[in-house]
């Protein structure tokens, strides 16, 4: 039997005579009735001692050393399935999984989770940037990894969040340049002439500021034309080629709105057109989406509308008007900007849009705030003058 040479004053450290390597171990207690130890090796006493002290620090920091080392890829796979999917909306879960598959795993997936460091994450982001990806995409990848590692820390799998230590690329928020009130009115007129089926949707989008998913998921059961109100109770999203109703984006996204007269009239036109299309389609009309009173905005066959198709049709209308192309989501910005321009308080705009925080509203429409501040100053001058 090979004899062991103990390190002086290093009780758990010894040198094997068989190969001269230094060995260190710490006791992890009993696992499934068996004594469990964690062992490290080094060519020199100093190397082995350094590794042993690192193990002790990790143990004292709460790291579960009994868990067998796993790769970052293996951890992410489990995390996405067991933690992300049950807790977020399907579209968000799909987005997380896609970002992990395309960018995170190829960069750091083979690195052991407990050996992942900030340099690994920094290199991942640099590689993404060099590939021409936008700063916000790179930031999103880091944010997902940061969220995953935060859970890993809570579970005792790592001692620190290395994604939080990496520096993301800087991105400059481009100011929103939505349609003016005059341009919005012209767009409705243009749609009435050239895209009559699309006109009610454009009008309601401009008059309410609903998100595309909220418009797609709006049902007649959530609309009260007599009272001129609607409720945002669900959204409709397409994930992996399958349409699904989901909860509103945030708690504040579930909201009730008063409808302007122009929006009520547009919805009445939509209701009349839809009744006619249902009769015309006969057997080709899809009844799959008849629950909750049926979708307000459908294709001529009764199926959900495809956002990408709507963007293309909106582009053609804007081309006819000689205006820069924008997506359907820009109509939400136009609604908010018109409200701000009319002096409606940001708090009310936030409630209308279903933003979770007023800071998000202020940041998005910050280019309009100076005008509001000037109006406030003028109003104060007027109040003091007439007092």
Residue 115 has pLDDT above 50, yes or no: yes
The better pLDDT of the pair 151, 70 is held by 151
Task: Indicate whether 105 pLDDT > 80.
Answer: yes
CB atoms under 10 Å from CB of 359, counted, come to 11
- Residue 34: pLDDT band with limits 50, 70, 90: confident
According to the model, what pLDDT value does residue 66 have?
A: 58
Say whether pTM exceeds 0.85. no
pLDDT at 333 over 60: yes
Chain-wide mean pLDDT for the chain? 85
Q: Which CATH number fits domain 72-165: 3.40.50.800, 3.30.930.10, 1.20.1530.20, 1.10.150.130?
A: 1.10.150.130
pLDDT band at 128 (very low <50, low <70, confident <90, very high): very high
**What pLDDT is recorded for position 344?**
85
- Residue 88 above 90 pLDDT? no
Planar angle of CA 196, 211, 355, nearest 5 degrees: 150
Give Cβ neighbours of residue 128 (< 8 Å, ≥ 6 apart). Answer: 103, 107, 137, 138, 141
As a whole number of angstroms, the distance between CA 238 and CA 304 comes to: 9
CATH of region 181-373, choose from 1.10.443.10, 1.10.8.290, 2.40.170.20, 3.40.50.10490: 1.10.443.10
Residue-wise burial string across 239-265, b where 16 or more C-beta atoms lie within 10 A, e elsewhere: eeeeeeebebbeeebbbebebeeebbe
């Amino acid at each position: 039997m090979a004899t062991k040479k103990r390190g002086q004053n290093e009780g758990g450290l010894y040198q094997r005579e068989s190969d001269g390597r230094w060995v260190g171990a710490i006791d992890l207690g009993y696992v499934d009735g068996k004594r469990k130890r964690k062992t490290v090796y080094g060519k020199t006493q100093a190397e082995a001692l350094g590794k042993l002290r690192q193990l002790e620090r990790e143990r004292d920091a709460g790291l579960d050393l009994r868990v067998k080392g796993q790769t970052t890829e293996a951890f992410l796979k489990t995390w996405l399935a067991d933690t992300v999917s049950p807790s977020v909306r399907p579209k968000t879960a799909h987005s997380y999984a896609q970002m992990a598959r395309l960018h995170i795993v190829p960069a750091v997936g083979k690195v052991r989770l407990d050996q992942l460091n900030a340099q690994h994450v920094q290199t991942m982001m640099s590689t993404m940037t060099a590939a021409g990806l936008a700063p916000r995409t790179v930031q999103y990848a880091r944010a997902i990894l940061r969220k995953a590692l935060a859970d890993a820390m809570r579970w005792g799998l790592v001692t620190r969040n290395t994604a939080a230590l990496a520096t993301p690329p800087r991105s400059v928020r481009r100011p929103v340049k939505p349609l003016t009130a005059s341009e919005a009115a012209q767009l409705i007129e243009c749609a009435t002439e050239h895209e009559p089926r699309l006109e009610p949707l454009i009008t309601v989008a401009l008059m309410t500021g609903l998100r595309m998913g909220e418009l797609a998921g709006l049902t007649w059961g959530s609309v009260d034309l007599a009272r001129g109100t609607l409720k945002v109770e669900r959204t409709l999203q397409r994930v992996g080629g399958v349409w699904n109703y989901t909860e509103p984006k945030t708690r504040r996204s579930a909201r009730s709105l008063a409808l302007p007269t122009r929006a009520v009239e547009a919805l009445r036109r939509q209701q009349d057109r839809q009744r006619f299309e249902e009769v015309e389609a006969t057997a080709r009309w899809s009844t799959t989406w008849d629950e909750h009173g049926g979708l307000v905005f459908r294709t001529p066959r009764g199926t959900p509308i495809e956002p990408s198709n709507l963007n293309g049709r909106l582009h053609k209308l804007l081309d006819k008007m000689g205006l820069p192309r924008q997506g359907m989501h820009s109509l939400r910005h136009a609604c908010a900007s018109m409200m701000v321009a009319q002096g409606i308080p940001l708090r009310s705009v936030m409630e209308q849009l279903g933003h979770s925080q007023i800071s998000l509203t202020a940041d998005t429409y910050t280019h309009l705030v100076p005008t509001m501040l000037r109006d406030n100053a003028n109003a104060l001058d007027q109040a003091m003058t007439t007092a």
